[in-house]
Structure 1
Amino acid sequence: MESQIHKIHQQLANKEMSCVALVTEKLNALKANTHNTVNSTLDDLALDLATKVDAKIANGESIGLLEGIPFGIKDVYMLQGTTTTASSDLLKNYKSAYTATAIQKLLDAGAIPVVKENCDSFGHGSSSENTIFGSVKNAINPNLVGGGSSGGSAVNVAKDYTVFSIGGDTGGSVRQPAGYNHVYGLKPTYGRISRYGLMAYASSTDCVGPIAKSVEDIRIVLNVMSGKDIKDQTSYASAEINAENIKDTSEIKSVGYFKNFIDSDAIDPKIKSDFLSTIEKIKVKGIEVKELDFFQSDILVSTYYTLAMAETASNLSRLDGSNYGNRIEDKNLKESYAITRSENFSEETKRRIVGGNQVLSQGFSDEIYLKSLALRDAISENFEDDFKDVDIILSPVTPSTPPEIGNSLKDPHAMYLSDAYTVGFSLGQLPTLTVPQGTETGLQITAAKTNDELVLKFANFLKDTI
């Protein structure tokens, strides 16, 4: 698909439509939608910003590329003065005191936020069913899940309720729902975009990620949000990715894929056959394809969830009703803490906190947590070796198609296993992009650390190949 950002920018600049009319159209569509993608709309803020854009255009002033473009925000990002709920009972009335760095950069570029989007509570889930706002429904088939945890963000883009949305990816939470809803979703290199103002789930893998309908729109939004931030010491300065550069794919000579992913008993036969068909099309283009060895998917899932649960138990310890959230009073302070957390956290969040505290506890941390840290290092080393042999790693996004709404809640273990093909790249902190091609849930393109540009290049190559 062509760039929606460029198209709308030209329409605004040429006075083919007003920004107020555009924003009003998006707000009305969001309110009328039946996919449960909306936690709150940002009417006053959005229309005020749109009025200012129209005034600039009327005065003959030029506008920036993102100026006046409506976008959505997963409801785990701070936006000053707006309610930021994390789709939880605990924070359902919490108002942000400041704005996340990535969101502020978009505001500074003139983009207009129109909605805080439904998601799994605190990012805990792979289906966007663990939410107080009702399960997000898939954009293609509303009987199926929208994916998670950034399900509302992916569905809004797929249904054109937003031009782009900002999700959050810890173990696949941008990439998997993007695949389920046939749009593009990027997990950039860890640290390329500041995490300041994103509610922490697992701090060592949390990434800010854009969701859009074209590679070009992903590039535009990525460039605006990227950069060093003194408020996030894991962030780093990065070069801007040029639009012309990502059209030249001649430097890509070799592609690898993990044979054990494709030979797994867990993979859907149709996803497997479609993936292998894509591999053959890539070979026809003269690119060398190599089979790679990697950790078994159950090891990846176990390693990821051990570390993620440990980190979320630590990160959510601050939420006890004292400083933030919906406090429930009881007979003493200890009981107030207990009932506040018990009543306000979802079952999935409580499951992850209990699991995280368990693996960090005395007698378990050496056996489980420290071993998982060692495995994470080994996974990163494996990737370093792989990228000495290939330029790109290609993989399915998921081993199976989206489940029906309700099934994931009955079987949390199956939900965790749906992340089998995404969590490894999170542990390696690598740039990975879901593209809506190749299989029913898309393909995943991965490059070496900091080589986000190459990922976008290969996405352009695939557009012309499959």
Structure 2
Amino acid sequence: MDSQIRKIHQQLMDKEISCTQLVQEKLEALKQNTHNTVNALLDTMALDLAAKVDAKIANGESIGLLEGIPFGIKDVYMVQGTYTTASSDLLKNYKSAYTATAIQKLLDAGAIPLVKENCDSFGHGSSSENTIFGAVKNAINPELVGGGSSGGSAVNVAKGYTVFSIGGDTGGSIRQPAGYNGVYGLKPTYGRISRFGLMAYASSTDCVGPIATSIEDIRIVLNAMSGQDIKDQTSYASESISEERLSYSEDIKTVGYFKNFVESEAIDAEIKADFLSAIGTIKAKGIKVKALDFFESNTLVSTYYTLAMAETASNLSRLDGTNYGNRIEADDLKETYAVTRSENFSAETKRRIVGGNQVLSQGFADEIYLKGLNLRDQIMANFEEDFNEVDIIISPVTPSTPPKIGESLKDPLAMYLSDAYTVGFSLGELPTLTIPQGTATGLQITAAKNNDELVLKFANFLKDTI
């Protein structure tokens, strides 16, 4: 699909449509949608901003490329004066006191926020069922899950309710729902976009990223949000990616894939066959394809969840109803803390906090947590070796197609294993893009650290190849 951002920009400039009319149409579609994607509409803010864009155009002033473009925000980002609930009971009445850096950059560029989007509570889930607002329904088949944790964001883009949305990816939470709903979703290199104002799940792998219907829209939004931020010491300065550079793919000579991913017993036969067919198509284009050795899926999932649960136990320890949150009073302070957290956190969030506290506790930390850190180092070293041999790594996004709503809640382990093909790239801090081609849940394109441009280049090459 061609760039929606560029198309709408031209329509606004040519006065084929007013920004107010555009925003009203999107808000109405969001109100009427039956996919449970909306936590809160930002209608007053959106219409006020739209009126300002219309006034500029009426005065003959030029507008920026993102100015007047409606977008959605996963409900884990701070936007001053709006509810930021993380789809949880604990924060259902919490209003942000400030705005996340990535969102502020989009506001500064003139983009118009429409909606806070439904997601798994605190990002804890792979299906967007773990939410107080009801399970997000898949854009293609509403009987299936929307994917998680950025399910509402992916479905809104797929249905056209937003032009693009900002999700959050810790272990696959942008890429997997993008694959489930047939859109593009990017997890950039860790640190390329500031995490300030994003509710922390696992700080060492949390990434801000865009979901859109075209590579060009991903590029535009990525450029707008990227850059160093003094409020996030893990962020770094990066060069903008030009549109012209994406058409030059001659520097991609070798593509690798992990043979144990496709040889796994967990992968659906159809996804395996389609992935191997895509590999064959790439090879037929004269690109060398190399099978790579990598860690087993179970090792990747275990390592990721060991570290992620430890970090979420630490990050969520601040939420006890004292400074913010839905406080439940009890007989004494200690009991108040216990009841507040017990009643307000979901079963999945409590499972991750308990698991995290256990792996950090005396007697377990050396055996489990430190081993997880060591394995992460090995995974990163493995990637460095791989990218000495290949330019790009391609993989399935998921080993199977989206489950029916309700199935994931019955089997948390199966939910964790659905992340088997995404978590490794998160542990490696690598730029990874889901494209809606190749298999029923898309393909995943990964490059070495800080090489986000190469990911978009290869995606652009595959757009007309597969």
Q: By the TM > 0.5 criterion, same fold?
A: yes
User: What is residue 427 of structure 2 aligned with on the other side?
Assistant: 427
**C-alpha distance in 2 between matches for 1:155 and 1:18:** 25
User: What is residue 54 of structure 1 aligned with on the other side?
Assistant: 54
User: What is residue 439 of structure 2 aligned with on the other side?
Assistant: 439
User: What is residue 194 of structure 2 aligned with on the other side?
Assistant: 194
**C-alpha distance in 1 between matches for 2:62 and 2:9:** 11
Residue 224 of structure 1: how far off its partner (Å): 0.3
User: What is residue 384 of structure 1 aligned with on the other side?
Assistant: 384
2:61 partner amino acid: E
Q: Give the match's secondary structure for 2:317.
A: helix
Residue 161 of structure 1: how far off its partner (Å): 0.1
User: What is residue 123 of structure 1 aligned with on the other side?
Assistant: 123
Q: Give the match's secondary structure for 1:465.
A: coil
**C-alpha distance in 1 between matches for 2:290 and 2:77:** 40
**C-alpha distance in 2 between matches for 1:355 and 1:417:** 16
2:367 partner amino acid: E
User: What is residue 215 of structure 1 aligned with on the other side?
Assistant: 215
Q: Give the match's secondary structure for 2:144.
A: coil
**C-alpha distance in 1 between matches for 2:366 and 2:249:** 46
**C-alpha distance in 2 between matches for 1:412 and 1:209:** 26
**C-alpha distance in 1 between matches for 2:110 and 2:461:** 31
Could you state the TM-score of these two structures normalised by the residue count of structure 2?
1.00
Residue 458 (structure 2) pairs with residue 458 (structure 1): yes
Matches within 5 A, 1:339-354: 339-354=339-354
Q: Residue deviations 1:152-181, cap 9 Å, x none?
A: 000000000000000000000000000000
User: What is residue 296 of structure 2 aligned with on the other side?
Assistant: 296
**C-alpha distance in 1 between matches for 2:239 and 2:33:** 39
Q: Residue deviations 1:183-219, cap 9 Å, x none?
A: 0000000000000000000000000010000000000
User: What is residue 82 of structure 2 aligned with on the other side?
Assistant: 82
Matches within 5 A, 1:327-342: 327-342=327-342
- % identical equivalent positions: 83
User: What is residue 325 of structure 1 aligned with on the other side?
Assistant: 325
User: What is residue 238 of structure 1 aligned with on the other side?
Assistant: 238
**C-alpha distance in 1 between matches for 2:73 and 2:91:** 16
1:120 partner amino acid: D
Residue 110 (structure 2) pairs with residue 110 (structure 1): yes
Matches within 5 A, 1:34-73: 34-73=34-73
**C-alpha distance in 1 between matches for 2:25 and 2:252:** 42
Moved over 3 A (4+): none
Structure 1 gaps of 5+ residues are: none
Structure 2 gaps of 5+ residues are: none
**C-alpha distance in 1 between matches for 2:174 and 2:324:** 27
Q: Residue deviations 1:360-404, cap 9 Å, x none?
A: 000000000000000000000000000000000000000000000
User: What is residue 281 of structure 2 aligned with on the other side?
Assistant: 281
**C-alpha distance in 1 between matches for 2:324 and 2:76:** 14
Q: Give the match's secondary structure for 1:421.
A: coil
Residue 464 of structure 1: how far off its partner (Å): 1.2
User: What is residue 227 of structure 2 aligned with on the other side?
Assistant: 227
Residue 324 of structure 1: how far off its partner (Å): 1.1
**C-alpha distance in 1 between matches for 2:3 and 2:396:** 25
Q: Give the match's secondary structure for 2:166.
A: strand
**C-alpha distance in 2 between matches for 1:23 and 1:191:** 32
Q: Residue deviations 1:69-124, cap 9 Å, x none?
A: 00000000000000000000000000000000000000000000000000000000
User: What is residue 96 of structure 2 aligned with on the other side?
Assistant: 96
1:428 partner amino acid: G
**C-alpha distance in 2 between matches for 1:280 and 1:232:** 42
User: What is residue 260 of structure 1 aligned with on the other side?
Assistant: 260
**C-alpha distance in 1 between matches for 2:256 and 2:111:** 37
Could you state the TM-score of these two structures normalised by the residue count of structure 1?
1.00
User: What is residue 415 of structure 2 aligned with on the other side?
Assistant: 415
Q: Give the match's secondary structure for 1:395.
A: strand
Aligned length: 466
User: What is residue 164 of structure 2 aligned with on the other side?
Assistant: 164
Residue 30 of structure 1: how far off its partner (Å): 0.3
**What value does the CA root-mean-square deviation take over the aligned residues?**
0.2
2:98 partner amino acid: Y
Residue 328 of structure 1: how far off its partner (Å): 0.2
**C-alpha distance in 1 between matches for 2:464 and 2:284:** 13
